[in-house]
């Protein structure tokens, strides 16, 4: 037998490696998510598929990206067993269309494989249909306020900021169950720069705290903080998440502190039933999950609100199924507490139910929506809200921003006595506001004929949960 030459040995002794093995460690351990966006398979929806090594809060990060782009999530399936995260979203844009290439590119940049190696493109986020939100975290000072609400409080806060020589660049406020949470971005009135002087910030905090505590109710739960939101790029969804957290800390889920019931009684019984939110929790003993089921009126950002609340309450979502049909939404989450245990006590289940109901209700405003656009000037917002207050209207939600020389604002208002606001009354009130472009919108829609789904999406999901949990192997 002849011996092979060294050259031949080099040719036959090197093992063959499939090229796909080169990125196997990256596929197993990260660096981040892999995103596949299918714009062809479904006729009416774009399908966004995400898979990644799992971590707590990852689902919320993905939902935040979609929410910042004003995408409506019509269906979603989620699984994160075996340390791997898989998610499928069926989405449309804000106009009800499939996604265009620019949006697809942003999603890839924001949650795809380039996420850790380069900065994601900034999302264009919206308060309403006609203006966008910018990142004010580095240019302006953030002020957080929370406490017991009362008619005219938001107007008083804006007036106090004007008295303190502060320019209001952007502000967002939610009122729910007689509690108010507000995040505002301010600058110095004379220089338009952020306010960093500790003494002046302390003066602003003291003054606003006095305003908020003027009602005398629950002084220990009322708080003002300044200095900005630390450690995050400020986007609309981050602000909304902070509003959720502030109201949760005020225990708005317990209902109005001074009255066991709310509402004016002007809503018909059928309409009230249509609006009703139903949250229930049962345990899946064989897999150690608690199953949270939600049925409610569908609306934009609903999934963000529920996922945000469960995440901030320290629950891990292992599986979920989300669906909607004829303006009605169905959501089921398979969760455990972050310590690994299911919800074992009735008191814990009751608290989660109440917190989810509150999270769903916070964004739903029954008031009349006023959209105002005017030349920006010092004290404009204070003057607008003063006119509203003097005409017997109270602000239950506000989204305020400035765009160059323009101030663009959206207020949800209702009568202080609980009655519906007359649009003719608003038209008369416009004369007091001078050169302000005011548009009246009513976001409340009457119940329409709808067909309830004869089956729960989650029923199908639960029947397959054991197979998914036992057989799924990441590839």
**Mind listing the pLDDT tens digit for each residue in 363-378?**
887 678 888 888 888 7
Residues 251 and 369 reside in one and the same domain: yes
The verdict on residue 407 lying in a domain is yes
For residue 227, the model assigns a pLDDT of: 57
The verdict on residue 178 lying in a domain is yes
Average pLDDT over residues 102-107: 92
Q: For residue 208, give every residue at least 6 positions away whose Cβ sits within 8 Å of its Cβ, in sequence order, or none.
A: 143, 145, 157, 160, 161, 224
Q: How far apart are CA 209 and CA 358, in angstroms?
A: 25
The verdict on residue 184 lying in a domain is yes
CATH number at residue 227: 3.30.70.260
Q: How far apart are CA 125 and CA 264, in angstroms?
A: 34
The 10 Å Cβ neighbour count of residue 14 is: 8
Q: Let me know: does 174 contact 363? Beta carbons within 8 Å.
A: yes
pTM attached to this predicted model: 0.78
Number of domains in the chain: 3
Q: How far apart are CA 286 and CA 352, in angstroms?
A: 22
Domain that holds residue 61: 21-112
Q: How far apart are CA 152 and CA 414, in angstroms?
A: 11
Rounded to 10 degrees, the C-alpha dihedral 443/449/453/458 comes to 10
User: Tokens at residue 167, please?
Assistant: 């320019």
Residues 217 and 168 reside in one and the same domain: yes
**What SS3 string covers 364-419?**
CCCCEEEEEEEECCCCHHHHHHHHHHHCCEEEEEEEEEEECCEEEEEEEEEECCCC
Residues 346 and 372 reside in one and the same domain: no
Q: How far apart are CA 268 and CA 246, in angstroms?
A: 32
Residues 70 and 153 reside in one and the same domain: no
Domain limit, last residue, from 340, 362, 384: 362
Q: Let me know: does 352 contact 233? Beta carbons within 8 Å.
A: no
Task: Say which range, 134-148, 189-203, 267-281, has the weakest mean pLDDT.
Answer: 267-281
Cα 386 to Cα 154, 157, 158, 277, 394: the distances in Å are 10, 11, 9, 34, 10
Q: Let me know: does 395 contact 385? Beta carbons within 8 Å.
A: yes
**Mind listing the pLDDT tens digit for each residue in 158-167?**
999 999 999 9
Q: Let me know: does 173 contact 398? Beta carbons within 8 Å.
A: yes
The verdict on residue 157 lying in a domain is yes
User: Tokens at residue 117, please?
Assistant: 């190696």
User: Tokens at residue 224, please?
Assistant: 């003002």
Residues 162 and 194 reside in one and the same domain: yes
The verdict on residue 467 lying in a domain is no
Task: Say which range, 76-80, 219-223, 399-403, has the weakest mean pLDDT.
Answer: 219-223
For residue 386, the model assigns a pLDDT of: 86
**Mind listing the pLDDT tens digit for each residue in 418-474?**
667 777 777 777 666 665 677 777 654 433 333 333 334 334 334 443 443 444 333
The 10 Å Cβ neighbour count of residue 293 is: 16
Tell me: pLDDT of 223 over 90: no
Tell me: pLDDT of 296 over 80: yes
Residues 435 and 340 reside in one and the same domain: no
Q: How far apart are CA 387 and CA 370, in angstroms?
A: 13
Domain limit, last residue, from 299, 334, 362: 362
Residues 371 and 247 reside in one and the same domain: yes
Residues 227 and 179 reside in one and the same domain: yes
Tally the C-alpha atoms within 13 A of residue 386's C-alpha that lie toward its C-beta: 12
Residues 35 and 87 reside in one and the same domain: yes
For residue 434, the model assigns a pLDDT of: 62
Residues 244 and 308 reside in one and the same domain: no
Q: For residue 112, give every residue at least 6 positions away whose Cβ sits within 8 Å of its Cβ, in sequence order, or none.
A: 32, 33, 34, 35
Domain limit, last residue, from 342, 362, 382: 362
The verdict on residue 409 lying in a domain is yes
Residues 248 and 156 reside in one and the same domain: yes
Tell me: pLDDT of 75 over 90: yes
Q: What is the DSSP string of 258-327?
A: S-S--S-S-S-HHHHHHH--EEEEEEETTTTEEEEEEEEE--TTHHHHHHHHHHHTTEEEEEEEEEEETT
Band (pLDDT 50/70/90 cuts) for residue 261 is very low
Residues 244 and 389 reside in one and the same domain: yes
The verdict on residue 400 lying in a domain is yes
Q: What is the DSSP string of 418-433?
A: SPPPPHHHHHHHGGGG
The verdict on residue 268 lying in a domain is no
């Amino acid at each position: 037998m002849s011996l092979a030459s060294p050259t031949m040995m080099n040719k036959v002794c090197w093992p063959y490696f499939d090229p796909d093995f080169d990125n196997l460690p990256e596929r197993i351990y990260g660096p981040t998510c892999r995103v596949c966006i299918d714009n062809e398979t479904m006729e009416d929806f774009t399908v966004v598929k995400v898979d990644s090594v799992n971590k707590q809060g990852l689902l919320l990060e993905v939902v935040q990206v979609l929410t910042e782009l004003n995408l409506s999530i019509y269906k979603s399936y989620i699984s994160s067993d075996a340390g791997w995260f898989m998610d499928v979203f069926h989405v449309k844009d804000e106009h009800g269309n499939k996604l265009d290439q620019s949006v697809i590119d942003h999603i890839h940049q924001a949650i795809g494989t380039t996420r850790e190696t380069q900065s994601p493109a900034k999302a264009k986020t919206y308060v309403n249909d006609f203006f966008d939100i910018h990142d004010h975290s580095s240019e302006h000072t953030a002020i957080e306020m929370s406490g017991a609400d009362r008619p005219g409080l938001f107007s008083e806060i804006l007036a106090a900021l004007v008295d303190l020589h502060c320019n209001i660049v952007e502000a967002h406020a939610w009122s729910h169950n007689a509690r108010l949470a507000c995040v505002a971005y301010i600058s110095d009135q004379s220089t338009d720069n952020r306010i960093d002087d500790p003494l002046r910030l302390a003066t602003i905090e003291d003054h606003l705290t006095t305003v908020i505590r003027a009602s005398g109710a629950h002084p220990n739960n009322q708080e003002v903080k300044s200095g900005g939101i630390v450690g995050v790029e400020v986007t609309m969804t981050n602000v909304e998440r902070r509003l959720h957290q502030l109201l949760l800390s005020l225990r708005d889920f317990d209902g109005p502190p001074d009255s066991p019931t709310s509402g004016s009684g002007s809503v018909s019984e059928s309409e009230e039933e249509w609006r009703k939110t139903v949250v229930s929790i049962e345990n899946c003993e064989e897999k150690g999950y608690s199953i949270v089921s939600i049925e409610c009126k569908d609306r934009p950002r609903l999934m963000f609100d529920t996922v945000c609340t469960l995440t901030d309450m320290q629950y891990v979502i292992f599986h979920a199924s989300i669906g909607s049909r004829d303006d009605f939404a169905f959501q089921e989450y398979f969760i455990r507490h972050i310590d690994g245990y299911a919800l074992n006590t009735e008191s814990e289940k009751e608290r989660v139910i109440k917190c989810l109901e509150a999270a769903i209700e916070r964004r739903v405003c029954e008031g009349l929506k006023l959209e105002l656009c005017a030349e920006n000037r010092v004290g404009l917002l204070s003057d607008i809200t003063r006119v509203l207050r003097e005409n017997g209207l109270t602000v239950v939600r506000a989204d305020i921003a400035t765009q160059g020389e323009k101030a663009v604002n959206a207020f949800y208002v209702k009568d202080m006595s609980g009655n519906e606001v007359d649009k003719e009354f608003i038209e008369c009130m416009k004369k007091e506001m001078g050169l302000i472009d005011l548009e009246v919108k009513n976001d409340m829609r009457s119940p329409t004929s709808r067909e309830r789904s004869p089956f729960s999406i989650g029923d199908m999901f639960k029947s397959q949960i054991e197979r998914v949990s036992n057989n799924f192997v990441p590839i």
